[in-house]
Structure 1
């Protein structure tokens, strides 16, 4: 049960995100559209930069839409981490950091991988707590093993998406070479390992219920005390 104040605050935040986040990504897209983004001079295809901005503008709408639909609500710190990573990637790409700084891409993938692994951990906690009692990951070792396997798969999916963007933009597939792809996957592995170690330590002191209890899923979880209309 939510208080009216808490609901109003979350609704305001969701509307602000729904408007400002995609708008800001489209503002960033203006620079490669005009051909003045530093990333173009660094070697990125303008179509690739524009497509990336549009893609993340659409992705940024997902969580606020889910909140306004009273389906999913995430803690504010989680939202800051996820959206901070979105802007980190898009801005760095348009500034050309991934090509001008040899270590930037690896650092970016480590950061992105830690965020993805955190999301996977939350999802696994939801599955663990929502499933019948006989369906479980077992001890924390089982949870961490599943966390590593699922999280690593997203690194491969991301590289396939990059390949599709290369193809859709008219460029050559894996335009930045197989070595770049393998370096990205290695950085992803490092990020997964960091979160996996922290998760193993966390589950030694807490349970998946501690994570699950901080989330809200489904319309029943958004019932507001003392109010008939929860979005007013």
Structure 2
């Protein structure tokens, strides 16, 4: 019988996941139990747990246990999202939730991403968000490739809304207060949100309205 509290938690989560038909999460548990110190497998487990609908009270103990070095955690998540065209890597997107936004923005810059737009977003019953849209540098005015979005709670600066797109193709775009705004299409869209929610879409509308734009100097993204 396992004596380590984390291993007991993983074994219990694996059994529960099998019972409820959450087979990707059960597989992630088994893989991590066999390789307890592997960073990628820890990212997989937290991403799979969020995708399966587990809430903060279940995830927070694992956040505390595994994200003692939040910078290294974010660096690895963003490396997975930028060093290859991992359109399927929803787990790396979800595993950033709950991290500090300032650290995440710094990690994104180390990964080679640059902010091309910063916007404000309201929520019905929670504090508003700022959302930074980042991509790899591009010489093409109407294309943004390897797009990552980081959205944070304005009171806590906690990441609560993260996304990744293979590319954004602008139909029309202008620059407003240093941010790109316009309409276009996005491909291979992955999104995760706290307290729950995961979405995938092969292609959809991409819109950043001029009135949503936040000046960089008014944000922690400055």
TM-score (norm 1): 0.29
More strand by share: 2
* Larger relative contact order (CA 8 Å, sep ≥ 6): 1
Q: TM-score scaled by structure 2?
A: 0.31
Normalized per residue, the structure richer in helix is 1
